[in-house]
Amino acid sequence: MDFTYQGYKGLLKLLKSEDYIFSSYENYISNTHCVILRHDIDYSLEQAVKLANIENENGVRSTYFILLTSDFYNPASSLSYKLLHEIIDLGHNVGLHFDETAYKYDIFPIDYYIRKETRILSDLLDVNINCFSLHRPNKITLETSLCIPGLINAYGDEFFKHFKYISDSRRRWREPIEEIILSKRYNYLHILTHAFWYHETDVSIHQGVLNFIKAASRERLSTLQYNISNLDSILNDDGDHK
Ligand SMILES: [Zn+2]
């Protein structure tokens, strides 16, 4: 499949044609042939909203994991609130995407920070958050299979040993996803996608990243225009005088 919205629709269609039931981390247990679609929002809420719309148009529900410590988006901003509630209103679940590198664990253990961020995200969004995934976890954290009462760990053994897990990390499926879906070998699929890699047209990974960098510059300008009156007069000033 290519990394376009059309390609993603094709993936959903393929899963449906193989009778996979789209499930959440909570309710999959009642299904004997199902898929959990997971999205880690590493960079762009806007792109996540696009996939959330495509899924909704195709009658599909999935789970979006949100970083609280991102340098790319601010979950506490009013725009983020609006975008994240768009995702929720489209029928999807949201969870915490946790970046362990944001903390030093010499004072409290990792589960303290996961609980803390879960509470903060719940408060920010006015929704209950009961699952988390890890952002680029190190080998030790990954192998620990963290168990935190009251919270579902999307990286827990349950979703890796019981499920066939496939991810599009770095815009590359490690295994041929279509073949896996069509193989009829797996009753439980756990598919991680990153909305960041998907575009309207089939652009190269290089161009996609470059477009994102250029768009950030335009967004920054527009935010400055909102905050500084007569910004144009400042920008048009050649800066010769102080
Ligand atoms: Zn991530």
112 C-alpha to center of ligand 1: Å?
A: 20
Structure tokens that stand for 201 in this block: 């047209």
Tell me the C-alpha to C-alpha distance, in Å, between residue 188 and each of 9, 57, 184, 185: 20, 23, 10, 9
Q: Is the pLDDT of residue 242 over 60?
A: no
Structure tokens that stand for 97 in this block: 């995407």
Which pLDDT belongs to residue 82?
Answer: 97
Judged by DSSP in three states, 34 sits in strand
User: Looking at per-residue confidence, does 144 or 124 come out higher?
Assistant: 124
Judged by DSSP in three states, 164 sits in strand
143 C-alpha to center of ligand 1: Å?
A: 17
Q: Is the pLDDT of residue 107 over 90?
A: no
Nearest to 34 by CA among 130, 164, 169, 131: 164
172 C-alpha to center of ligand 1: Å?
A: 15
Q: Is the pLDDT of residue 163 over 90?
A: yes
39 C-alpha to center of ligand 1: Å?
A: 9
Structure tokens that stand for 182 in this block: 């069509």
94 C-alpha to center of ligand 1: Å?
A: 14
User: Looking at per-residue confidence, does 122 or 103 come out higher?
Assistant: 122
Buried b (16+ CB within 10 A) or exposed e, 47-79: bbbbbbebbbeeebbbbbbbbbebeebebeeee
Q: Is the pLDDT of residue 137 over 90?
A: no
Write the pLDDT tens digit of every residue in 165-177: 999 989 999 899 9
**Residues with beta carbon < 5 A to ion ligand 1?**
40, 42, 135
62 C-alpha to center of ligand 1: Å?
A: 16
Write the pLDDT tens digit of every residue in 28-72: 988 899 999 999 999 999 999 999 999 999 999 999 999 999 999
65 C-alpha to center of ligand 1: Å?
A: 8
